[in-house]
Amino acid sequence: MAADKLEAGLGAIAQKLAGPGARIEGLKRLSGGASQETWSFDTAGSGPAQPLILRRAPGGKAVTRTGTAISLATEAAVIARAAKAGVAVPDIAYVLNDADGLGEGYVMARIEGETIARKILREEAYAEAQKGLAFACGETLAKIHSIDISGIDGLPALGLAPQIGTYLDLYDSMNEPHPVFEVAFKWLQDNRPEEASLRLVHGDFRNGNLIVGPEGLRAVLDWELAHVGDPMEDLGWICVNSWRFGESQNPVGGFGQYKDLFEGYRAAGGGEADPARVRYWEVFGTLKWGIMCMLMVSAFRTGADRSVERAAIGRRASETEIDLLNLLVRED
């Protein structure tokens, strides 16, 4: 049984982490993305229990991860480097190797807290946390963008031009013409700024990938889309209207204002954010999310994922069309 093998393999790792005689308890699957599995468990032994998370390739097999995703080993190396730079991340406890027999992946600390945007934005418990969150996001992004990545292999370099090209190819491959997306691609091409000096960027810094407690930001998760790119990409992505979850008046993730994000960025040594560039990436991010919604329908149609959720998300592409029109067409 695969589950027995996983339990036994993690048991052996528990002994390395918590000493001889340690075992694991409470193993349960949290989510199953197409690109990775997430499991929760605790070590139990003579010392205090350690709450942990395993992230590994599906079924423990090496697979080609989606799109521009980096390998799990690279992801672990980036997270460890982020911790050194003072970014709130889960501590990497262990990186799997061949001898563990569990495939590619790593074990990290399990941090309690909330990731669901609607709760963070609407529940009283997070009212205090919300106030400082945009500033904290700015600080965190400045620290991420300062990370020295020398010695970390496998991080793709993705400035503006290659990203626009990638998403144009994906959009064309589906052969479902969207005049609004054409307008957006044209705007992006006509208004493309010079490539920035490239830094490590998180690549998916938004609600859902941030663990928040009542006191504020606890950890940044999901580093699989990390790459070397334009730092303003991260600032633009968290402002995409889709990540505001209905709170459009607060452009930063539905909880804050641009100026709070930019002030946090400056305070942590990131320098002056470039609002025009942030807006450019916000437009690109909106288009990107729209194309991702279309791609998910492809996964439904090919049979890769026959769930209602996967099918219905295609009907969210039109939300990004209205957002693109709001951003680009009512300027006059």
Partner 1 sequence: MQDAPTAKELIEAVRAFLEERAMKELTGHAAFHARVAANALAIVERELEQGPRAEAEERARLAALLGHDGELGDLNAELAGKIRSGEISLEAPGLRDHLWQTTLDKVAIDQPKYSGYRTALEREKD
Distances, alpha carbon 177 to alpha carbons 53, 118, 181, 247, in Å: 42, 32, 8, 30
Residue 248 contacts partner 1 per CB under 8 A: yes
The answer to whether the beta carbons of residues 206 and 253 sit under 8 Å apart is: yes
Q: How far apart are the C-alpha atoms of 331 and 289, rounded to whole Å? A: 22
Residue 185 contacts partner 1 per CB under 8 A: yes
Q: How far apart are the C-alpha atoms of 300 and 29, rounded to whole Å? A: 23
Instruction: Identify which of residues 224 and 321 has a Cβ nearer to partner 1 in the complex.
Output: 321
Distance of closest approach, residue 119 Cβ to partner 1, in angstroms: 14
Residue 97 contacts partner 1 per CB under 8 A: no
Distance of closest approach, residue 184 Cβ to partner 1, in angstroms: 10
Instruction: Identify which of residues 135 and 181 has a Cβ nearer to partner 1 in the complex.
Output: 181
Distance of closest approach, residue 143 Cβ to partner 1, in angstroms: 30
Q: Provide φ and ψ at 51, rounded to 5°.
A: -80, 125
Residue 178 contacts partner 1 per CB under 8 A: yes
Distances, alpha carbon 274 to alpha carbons 85, 157, 328, in Å: 23, 21, 18
Q: How far apart are the C-alpha atoms of 84 and 88, rounded to whole Å? A: 10
User: x/- site string to partner 1, residues 295 to 324, per CB under 8 A?
Assistant: ------------xxx-xx--xx-xx-xxx-
Query: Which of the stretches 92-100, 106-114, 159-167, 180-188 binds partner 1 when contact is defined by CB under 8 A?
Result: 180-188
Instruction: Assign 44 to helix, strand or coil.
Output: strand
Binding-site size for partner 1 (CB under 8 A) equals 30
Residue 325 contacts partner 1 per CB under 8 A: yes
| Out of 186, 193, 267, 304, the residue judged to bind partner 1 by CB under 8 A | 186
Q: Provide φ and ψ at 143, rounded to 5°.
A: -65, -40
Instruction: Identify which of residues 123 and 263 has a Cβ nearer to partner 1 in the complex.
Output: 123
CA atoms 126, 130, 135, 141: torsion sign: positive
Residue 179 contacts partner 1 per CB under 8 A: yes
The answer to whether the beta carbons of residues 75 and 106 sit under 8 Å apart is: yes
Residue 292 contacts partner 1 per CB under 8 A: no
The answer to whether the beta carbons of residues 214 and 190 sit under 8 Å apart is: no
Map the footprint of partner 1 across residues 214-243, applying CB under 8 A. 241
Residue 180 contacts partner 1 per CB under 8 A: yes
Contacts to partner 1 by CB under 8 A: 177-183, 185-186, 241, 244, 246-248, 307-309, 311-312, 315-316, 318-319, 321-323, 325-326, 329-330
